[in-house]
Chain A
Amino acid sequence: MSAVIIARHARTPAERFKDAAWVGFVALLLGIPMVGLTTVDQGGALTVQTRFGMLGAFVGASFVGRFIFRWIMDQVRNRRAAKPAVAKVDRTPQAIKVIGWAVLGASIALPIAFSENRYVIDTATTVLIYVMLGWGLNVVVGLAGLLDLGYVAFYAVGAYTYALLFSHFGWTFWEALPVAGAMAATFGILLGYPILRLRGDYLAIVTLGFGEIIRVILVNWTELSNGPNGIGSIPRPTLFGLPFDRNPTEGTQSFATFFGLEFSGMHRIIFLYYLILVLALLTNVFVSRLRKLPVGRAWEALREDEIACKAMGMNVTNVKLSAFAIGAMLGGFAGVFFAARQGFISPESFTFTESATILAIVVLGGMGSQLGVVLAALVLVLLPELGRNFSEYRMLLFGTAMVLIMVWKPSGLLASREPTIRLNKATAAGGQS
């Protein structure tokens, strides 16, 4: 028996009522533990209290909400059906381009508009870190189609490489960046090699394990990583050697004194923002370029059909390893930035939740879509931020949003795939059907 009615014909009021009643029932089941019961601190002991009024309101709201929602959807559908079918011109590629440039413009202008608002710029920096990680993971998951649940491991490798190079050898951000990228790529290949023959779920499980292995090593190998205490006082990046300190060491100039500005803590925040913006954009350009090269096409072909790839004479081993290595390298770069921005890292920052969030960004964005990653990162980072006002219901809101995206856009926010090769008008004539 189908509980929620999915009908193509116009619904009768009775059907709508039944549909909404089912949703109300589900809301009741979910609501009893989540809304109906609450714990209260009474004289030092926790007691359970019931909130039947709130539960009733919750169920009622679900029922009415569903009823109205269905009604609106029916109206929309009827209106759509009434319209004559006009030959639709697919404007998606142009629209994507316009949105892409708009987002880029907004992200460049953001620190100027909010130059005094540290919270906004900090949050935007976090979004950009996730965008960069999403673009990196996109190579592995979106292009090569290798489901990687342990991506955070490479992020951790990058961050720790910088932290350790600094604490043992005093390397700066810019010196450590390429080394950390190479280190992460090496780990990518190390991970890739044993799991070349795995696919789908099995691959996901092993990569999940790999992510945990790295974290557990970082927790337990105290001599190397200082264990759960983490590594602190990691230096911030400099602008061509100009630090963002209030009191630079003797004989050096700081950013503020060099440009004759009054010292402000915001300079560093804004600099970090632009730094990650540049790193992320470089990532984007790098990946977009790769996609148009034979190696990028080979990744996509691998995602589509591994056996056909072999039949074409491709060395599937190299194709997979290159995807793992490049994805890992980009994750490593993001890790270095993360370490430099936080100034302190510990294994706590590299849990499975991070991997899951990055993967969610790639999947919600539409696998392989670069702009989709940006939109999804915005949604996934900003929603929990905005949801702070909802305190305990924050994750509920987050979950609802994810479910809604998957209901309306099952293949991601931007699912259309941009061809890697454009045809000139003469050969493409008649091809646009």
Chain B
Amino acid sequence: MMLHMEGVHAHYGHIHALRGVDVTVQVGEIVTLIGANGAGKSTLMMSLFGKPGASSGRIVFDGEDITRVPSHLISRRGIAIVPEGRRIFPRMTVMENLLMGTAFADPANFNADIKRVYAMFPILEERAAQRAGTLSGGEQQMLAIGRALMSRPKLLLLDEPSLGLAPIYIKRIFQIIRELNTEHGMTVLLVEQNAHHALRCAHRGYVLQHGEIVLAGTGQELLASEEVRAAYLEGGH
């Protein structure tokens, strides 16, 4: 088991953002969390990193309890995150951005890792000397994923990777996530509002509502589920 969250509660001051969440991610899986704005998706990701820390419950990663581990040490244990809104370093070059991902990785792996990232995203190699802020949104998203991969994570967290991208890039990003999983065996936890794409891409999914898991199942099951269809796929969007 790669990641196991058990009865996790989290608070922002008086706001009870997570109310006893159980999430499991197996090795080699793509798991997605879907839900509306404010359902607690991003909070769940941040709780994994201890900000806000779980007020009760347990988070186990790769066989170790990380519930109380300081934030900056968690990513060094092999969790990499592609943050919401990409959050690349705009005034630094593409190359420097990739370097930042390796801040705590073994320098000996650098050449192999950067080759792997360049093979996956040839555009990054072309633009290596360019300032990252000059890339298009989709390219920036690829850079953010590449940067996360540079640390050789065991688990990759993606927070709303399709946010604000052109439809063609949305397709491409989900294709990349599938490739990462099938070709590189990457375990992925994907938080998305774009429920349709996310569920088609994922092996399993959880539906989060008001800080609680209201539905869980395989991607296909959730796609077919009446409740999911009504709430996230057909109405409102």
Contact = CB atoms under 8 A, between A and B. Distances in A.
A206 B83 CA distance: 30
Interface string B62-95: 0000000001111110001101000111111101
B176 interface: no
Contact of A312 (B101, B128, B129, B130): B101
A308 B104 contact: no
Interface string A281-322: 000000000000010011011011101111111111000000
A153 to B, nearest CB: 28
Interface stretch (A176-184, A252-260, A422-430): A422-430
B103 A314 contact: yes
A252 to B, nearest CB: 53
A431 B126 contact: yes
A421 interface: yes
Contacts of B90: 304-305
Given A312-B75, A312-B100, A301 B92 contact: yes
A314 B72 contact: yes
A93 to B, nearest CB: 11
B75 A313 contact: yes
Contacts of A313: 72-76, 103-104, 151
11 contacts: A297-B99, A304-B91, A308-B87, A308-B100, A309-B100, A311-B49, A311-B81, A312-B75, A420-B96, A421-B95, A433-B127
Contact of B130 (A301, A316, A420, A433): A433
B113 interface: no
Contact of A307 (B83, B128, B130): B83
Contacts, number: 89
Interface residues of B, number: 34
B72 A315 contact: yes
Contacts of B71: 310
A117 interface: no
Contact of A421 (B73, B99, B130, B147): B99
Given A300-B92, A313-B103, A314-B103, A308 B151 contact: no
B101 A423 contact: no
* Residue from B51, B80, B96, B127 having most chain A Cβ neighbours under 10 A: B96
A309 B92 CA distance: 13
Given A297-B100, A427-B128, A430-B126, A419 B72 contact: no
Interface in A392-433: 417, 419-421, 423, 427-428, 430-433
A147 B29 CA distance: 44
Contacts of A300: 89, 91-92, 96
A421 B100 CA distance: 12
Contacts of A427: 125, 128
B142 to A, nearest CB: 15
Nearest to A309: B100
Contacts of B104: 313
B129 A428 contact: yes
A274 B80 CA distance: 50
B100 A419 contact: no
Given A301-B89, A421-B95, A428 B128 contact: yes
Contacts of A294: 103
A431 B49 CA distance: 35
B210 to A, nearest CB: 25
Given A300-B89, A308-B88, A421 B96 contact: yes
Interface in A78-119: none
Contacts of A312: 75, 100-101, 103, 147, 151
Nearest to A367: B91
A19 to B, nearest CB: 34
- Interface-central residue, B76, B95, B100, B151, by most chain A CB under 10 Å: B100
Contact of B83 (A311, A431, A433): A311
A48 B131 CA distance: 58
A123 B125 CA distance: 49
User: Which 3 pairs show the lowest CB-CB distances between chains A and B?
Assistant: A313-B75, A304-B89, A308-B87
Nearest to B107: A294
